[in-house]
């Protein structure tokens, strides 16, 4: 759905949306395309790219805030769609930081030795929780899904190893009212709509994202200039630019996809990874830094050697 189509629904314009967010279009799932349907398709593509079959996977972690149902977990519906009845599947809910939280969770399961290969999926149908009469929010979000496979392998224990090298996750529940959904099974029994204080979220995003990236760099002894690709959560081009500027990362090493799918919450980082791997920018052995922030507030980052 392009910005012009959006301006036929609410009092907005292509110019306003592009200037304030960098978004040019977003994708809206059809009625039959639930979060688990999108997530299962992303999982199939990730398995194909990894040269693995569902039998090789023993863990599925799905990051989503728009589950098909209140329960069971969307991850178990994806598990079923992949024809798997072994292993474990569960959801992680950290809104736009969901992928970083899911990756950190799966990584720790693999490090512990309890599981060997994980599908980490970000899948969302945010179009279903938007207030389509609120121009301040409905123009910013879209639907999508993407996935990665991570597999445990012995390494040297240094940053020369391939895979997830470091993860850092944070949350602060005091900011609930700045970004939330005004419904839920335990409160009013409704699905609810997304509510946001955009300016407040913007301010916190830049500070928190720079902080988590600096934490990850300090923990690994790296500098911003050592990172080959900076793959941020795709909420808003201005947030990405301001964070990259604060960290001294040049625009040429930042992956932007927000223009093509808006903010897809937990799906946005893996969608950006898939884009930059698909077009050959991210190469085997390169250092990739991902970061995200979302409702809660939650935020976090991960350093990956591809
Ligand atoms: N079209 C036209 N005008 C609009 C629209 C719209 N879609 N939405 C709001 N406006 C108007 C407002 O009504 C306001 O008008 P007024 O001055 O007459 O009252 C004016 O535009 C300015 O509104 P602001 O909210 O002050 O605009 P701002 O420059 O802060 O931009 C935005 C708004 C884009 C939401 C910005 O604050 C932002 O990006 N915040 C971060 C939100 C975000 O990314 N959230 C995602 C989830 S969290 C995360 O992922 C990091």
Same domain? 133 vs 189 = no
67 and 193 together in one domain:
no
Shared domain check, 299 and 244: yes
Q: Which of these three, 88, 122, 151, is where a domain ends?
A: 151
pLDDT at 84: 98
Do residues 128 and 191 lie in contact, with contact meaning Cβ atoms separated by under 8 Å?
yes
List pLDDT tens digits, range 52-111.
999 999 999 999 999 999 999 999 999 999 999 999 999 999 999 999 999 999 999 999
Note down the domain range covering 141. 3-151
Task: Work out which ligand 1 atom sits closest to the CA atom of 265.
Answer: 50
- How do 287-294 and 298-305 pair as beta strands? antiparallel
CATH of the domain at 276: 3.40.47.10
187 and 145 in a common domain:
no
CA 113 to chain centre: 25
The yes-or-no answer on residue 188 being catalytic is no
pTM of the model: 0.97
Q: Whose CA is nearest to atom 20 of ligand 1?
A: 136
In the predicted structure, residue 246 carries a pLDDT above the cut 90: no
Taking a C-beta distance cutoff of 8 angstroms, is the pair 253, 277 a contact? Answer: no
Same domain, 175 and 288: yes
User: Is 138 one of the annotated active-site residues of the chain?
Assistant: no
Ligand 1: list residues with CB < 6 Å.
12, 16, 20-21, 96, 135-136, 139, 179, 196, 198-199, 201-202, 205, 233, 235-236, 239, 263, 293-294
Domain end among 98, 116, 151: 151
Assess whether 233 carries a catalytic annotation: yes
- What integer pLDDT is reported at residue 207 of this predicted model? 94
CA pair distance 172, 279, nearest whole angstrom:
36
User: Under the phi-then-psi rule, with left for phi > 0, alpha for psi from -120 to 50, and beta for the rest, what region is 269?
Assistant: alpha
- What is the CB neighbour count within 10 angstroms for residue 122? 34
Residue 156, in any domain of the structure: no
Report how many domains make up the chain. 2
Distance 139 CA to ligand 1 centre (A): 10
88-92 vs 179-181, strand pairing mode: unpaired
Whether residue 147 is found in the same domain as residue 18: yes
Q: CB atoms < 10 A from the CB of 168, how many?
A: 21
């Amino acid at each position: 759905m392009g910005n012009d189509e959006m301006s036929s629904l609410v009092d907005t314009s292509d110019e306003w949306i592009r200037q304030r967010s960098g978004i040019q279009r977003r994708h809206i799932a059809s009625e039959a395309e639930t979060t688990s349907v999108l997530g299962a398709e992303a999982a199939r593509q990730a398995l194909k790219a990894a040269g693995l079959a569902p039998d090789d996977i023993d863990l599925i972690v799905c990051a989503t805030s728009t589950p098909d149902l209140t329960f069971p977990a969307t991850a178990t519906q994806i598990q079923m769609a992949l024809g798997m009845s072994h292993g474990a599947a569960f959801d992680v809910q950290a809104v736009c930081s969901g992928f970083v939280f899911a990756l950190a969770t799966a990584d720790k399961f693999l490090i512990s030795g309890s599981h060997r290969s994980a599908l980490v999926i970000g899948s969302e149908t945010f179009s279903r929780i938007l207030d389509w009469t609120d121009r301040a929010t409905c123009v910013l979000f879209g639907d999508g899904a993407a996935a990665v496979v991570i597999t445990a392998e012995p390494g040297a224990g240094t940053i020369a190893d391939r895979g997830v090298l470091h993860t850092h996750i944070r949350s602060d529940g005091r900011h609930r009212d700045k970004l939330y959904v005004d419904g839920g099974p335990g409160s009013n029994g409704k699905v609810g709509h997304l509510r946001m204080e955009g300016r407040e979220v913007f301010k916190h995003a830049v500070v928190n994202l720079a902080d988590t990236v600096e934490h990850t760099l300090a923990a690994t002894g790296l500098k911003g200039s050592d990172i080959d690709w900076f793959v941020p959560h795709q909420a808003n081009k201005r947030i990405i630019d301001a964070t990259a500027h604060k960290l001294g990362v040049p625009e040429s090493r930042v992956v932007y996809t927000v223009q093509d799918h808006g903010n897809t919450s937990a799906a946005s980082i893996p969608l950006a990874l898939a884009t930059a791997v698909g077009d050959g920018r991210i190469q085997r052995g390169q250092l990739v830094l991902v970061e995200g922030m979302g409702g809660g507030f939650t935020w976090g980052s991960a350093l990956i050697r591809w």
